[in-house]
Structure 1
Amino acid sequence: MKYGLFFGDSITYGEYDGVFGGWVDILKRYALQKYNEGSNELILFNLGIGGETTEGLVRRISHEMEARNSAEGNWVFIGYGANDLAIKEGVQAVEPEQFKSNILLAVHQAKQYAEDIYLISILPVAEKTDGVQTASGKWRTMAEVVKYNQILRSIAAENDLHYLDFYSGFVDDKEVLLSKDGVHPNEKGYGIMAEMAIPIIEKYL
């Protein structure tokens, strides 16, 4: 069997989805259904941690992958940026150059175990949240989302990685696909993410 490892923050974890458990959990159920119908077995690990930035990712990715290393092959999703670009008390959690460095380091570590690596775009924020301080004291802007996504897209292109563009799937309908906080998807949004990712899953079935 092959392993799929999903690294990320609360959007990978599936926060704010009380119905389906988030896009990764939807994919886990899909893979199990296909296995029961006769497809290859895929084991998907949701390794999302709420609030995590790429600083946390580089500290744990090699340990997580060593502990979940399938002899038949591994593939990895890396979904970060929404917390990295957030500003609190005038300080950005992880500035663009450090974000780029962290992603490159994580990719280097992942390549020691994984045959395929997917970088995931950052989702847009709702209009009411764009540049507005939230209850947590953080604020995010669409301009920063675009900037950090360009970093991810460039890394993917320059390192022969896959780029999963959830941003484009959300941006025109973000007001109906994001939850009340304007940052996390709602159940419908997570469903859209799963639909976009299913063709990737099917390649390994």
Structure 2
Amino acid sequence: MFLKKQLIQLCTIITLLFISSFVSASTLLVMGDSLSAAYNLRQQDGWVSLLKNQLSQSHPEIQVINASVSGETTQGGLSRFNDLLATHKPDIVVLELGANDALRGYPLDQTTLNLEKMIEQAQKSGAVVLLIGNQIPQNYGKRYTQMFFNLYKDIASKYSLAYLPFMLENVALNKDLMQSDGLHPNKAGQPIVLQNILPHLQPLLDNIK
């Protein structure tokens, strides 16, 4: 009788622990383009997978979903964003889009509007956002490249977001860390990209209840 009672108590504890871990699970959604989709690399070598591996040790309760697509524009991202929010219910969204808009010469006011819509949708769903900015080559014209770079800062200020101005700092101008196209980090560059992102992401991770 005593053993039966102990067994029931043990099963109850295990069940409660399972339910607790399920309820406390959190999700981080990365919404990006080729810079976050491990372009021309194995998926496990990209910065998002490196982040996932690191969080499995430091924050095992956080699930990382990479919804990044090579070639994605802000319009493409916006078109599928609501469904991703509904499916994954993220606590954190890392938003890294816009470079392809600029490389294609799209109007920056439309890029701004698309990013703002995604941010508003994320915040309405209860997620906090880390906005990642970018730069484009100077041959697109000084005025256009500066306006593109500044739009992220303006959006981050408007919505009081965590903000990283340039994810390829200390990578973009180093040929040893970049692929031959001069636009995408190689395998060696990916850990440095992650190290650029982590200081801005860490406070959001630590605030997850």
TM over 0.5: yes
The residue type paired with residue 182 of structure 2 is G
Aligned residues with identical type, % of pairs:
25
Q: Which is worse superposed, 56-65 or 140-149? A: 140-149
- Give runs of aligned pairs for residues 102-181 of structure 1, distance below 5 A: 102-125=114-137, 131=139, 144-167=144-167, 169-170=169-170, 173-181=173-181
| CA distance in structure 1 between the partners assigned to 2:154 and 2:144 by the alignment | 15
Kindly provide the amino acid, as one letter, of the partner of residue 100 in structure 2.
N
RMSD, aligned CA? 2.4
- Paired amino acid for 2:176: V
Count of paired positions: 181
Cα distance per residue 1:15-39 (max 9 Å; x no partner): 13348421111000101122xxxx4
Runs (5+) with no aligned partner, structure 1: 132-139
Q: Residue 112 of structure 1 aligns to a residue in which SS?
A: helix
The residue matched to 1:48 in structure 2 has which SS? coil
SS at match of 1:118: strand
1:66 — aligned with what? 86
Residue in 1 that maps onto 2:101: 84
**Which is helix-richer, 1 or 2?**
2
Q: Deviations over 1:110-144 (max 9, x none)?
A: 1122432111011555xxxx63xxxxxxxx56764
Asked if 2 retains the 8 angstrom alpha-carbon contact of 1:58 and 1:106, the reply is: yes
TM-score, with length taken from structure 2: 0.76
Matched, 1:2 2:14: no
- Is the Cα–Cα contact under 8 Å of residues 124 and 170 in structure 1 kept in the other structure? no
Question: Which structure: greater strand fraction?
Answer: 1
Q: Partner residue of 1:193?
A: 193
Q: Whose Rg is larger? A: 2
CA, structure 1 residues 33+159, in 2 after alignment: closer, same or farther (shift >3 Å)?
Answer: same
Q: Which residue of 2 aligns with 1:52?
A: 72
Instruction: Specify which structure has the bigger relative contact order, considering alpha-carbon pairs within 8 angstroms and separated by 6 or more residues.
Output: 1
**TM-score normalised by structure 1 residue count:** 0.78
